[in-house]
Amino acid sequence: MTVVKQTNEAKGKIETKKPTNYALVLKKTILPHVLLILIGSVFLFPFVWLVSTSLKTPEEIFKIPPEIFPTELQWSNYKNAIAAIPFFQYIFNTLFLCGVNIIGQLFAAPLVAYSLAKIPWKCKKYIFAIVVATMILPPQVTMIPVYIIFAKLGWINTYLPLTIGAFFGAPFFIFLLRQFILGIPNDLLDAARIDGASEFRIYWQIVLPQLKPVLATVVLFTFMWTWTDFLGPLIYLNDENLWTITIGLQGFLQDHGAQWELLMAAAAIFTIPMIILYFFGQKYFMKAGSSMTGFK
């Protein structure tokens, strides 16, 4: 009887539920989500307006008061925008530059970062300080001397000025990878050295596999910076057959500046890869951040 009584009392305690604190739910759940939605809407509105304008007629674009959504979707604007310039040629040129720069960064940046993090050699602290210091220097300061160097080498109107730097590693990526590699235990690398592994084998088979989240971040940043680069192609590329999509849109603006619906359609196509890249790549940013902070 005592056991049955205790069991019934335990069931009664389990079945007893605390009353819902609606004020706490409102404060900790509903209000933060509402605030995030409002802030997100502010950042999303320019893109909504871009897509909306690309689907309007010229009369609807200049209508007062302005309307966000068109009365009838003008999908032909996208077709006309692509036909107005060699759009796919510019896309191919840009993708080619993105691919070469990604290969260069993945080749150089991890090697330099590993040498600065785990290989003992003289003056490496000073070299790392110089690498970090170059991040502070604005590119506009070195633009003219670098252009003169490339001009004397005969590289103007080629892709070399836009790609050769990637094979020496970007300072930001070197810094990012070095900080990550420093978190790899030295005991693990020393054990591999004792077993007879060469330094390159340690780098290739032990270090690189642990860098996947950060390397994915390097790929995403490199693609984004190359895809949206305007100043570099503007300075070094004179042949229209070599133009990237950013220069192509600038040329489109000069030739069809009054046709805003076509310009917005071309700009929307230009923006879509960045949005797709963000949705597929945000998990790698989070993995890299969690790995850098140690919470994984």
Looking up residue 110, the CATH number of its domain turns out to be 1.10.3720.10
- Domain shared by 228 and 285, yes or no: yes
- Domain shared by 274 and 217, yes or no: yes
Asked whether residue 165 is assigned to any structural domain, the reply reads yes
- Domain shared by 46 and 117, yes or no: no
Model pLDDT, residue 9: 53
Asked whether residue 227 is assigned to any structural domain, the reply reads yes
- Domain shared by 123 and 52, yes or no: no
Asked whether residue 171 is assigned to any structural domain, the reply reads yes
**Number of compact structural domains in the chain:** 2
Torsional sign, CA 122, 125, 129, 132: positive
- Domain shared by 102 and 38, yes or no: no
- Domain shared by 179 and 232, yes or no: yes
The Cα 102–Cα 96 span in angstroms is 10
Nearest to 109 by CA among 232, 242, 218: 218
- Domain shared by 132 and 277, yes or no: yes
Model pLDDT, residue 296: 44
Asked whether residue 121 is assigned to any structural domain, the reply reads yes
* Structural domain span for residue 36: 21-74
Q: Which of 74, 108, 137 is the last residue of a domain?
A: 74
The Cα 124–Cα 116 span in angstroms is 6
Model pLDDT, residue 294: 43
The Cα 179–Cα 42 span in angstroms is 35
- Give the DSSP H or E segment for 12: helix 2-15
- Domain shared by 39 and 114, yes or no: no
Asked whether residue 256 is assigned to any structural domain, the reply reads no
List all residues 6 or more positions away from 267 whose beta carbon is below 8 Å from its beta carbon: 50, 54, 249
Asked whether residue 8 is assigned to any structural domain, the reply reads no
Low-confidence spans in the chain with pLDDT less than 70: 1-27, 256-258, 284-296
- Domain shared by 104 and 233, yes or no: yes
Asked whether residue 263 is assigned to any structural domain, the reply reads no
Q: In terms of residues, how long is the chain?
A: 296
The Cα 221–Cα 207 span in angstroms is 21
Model pLDDT, residue 172: 92
- Domain shared by 286 and 183, yes or no: yes
Asked whether residue 253 is assigned to any structural domain, the reply reads no
- Domain shared by 164 and 60, yes or no: no
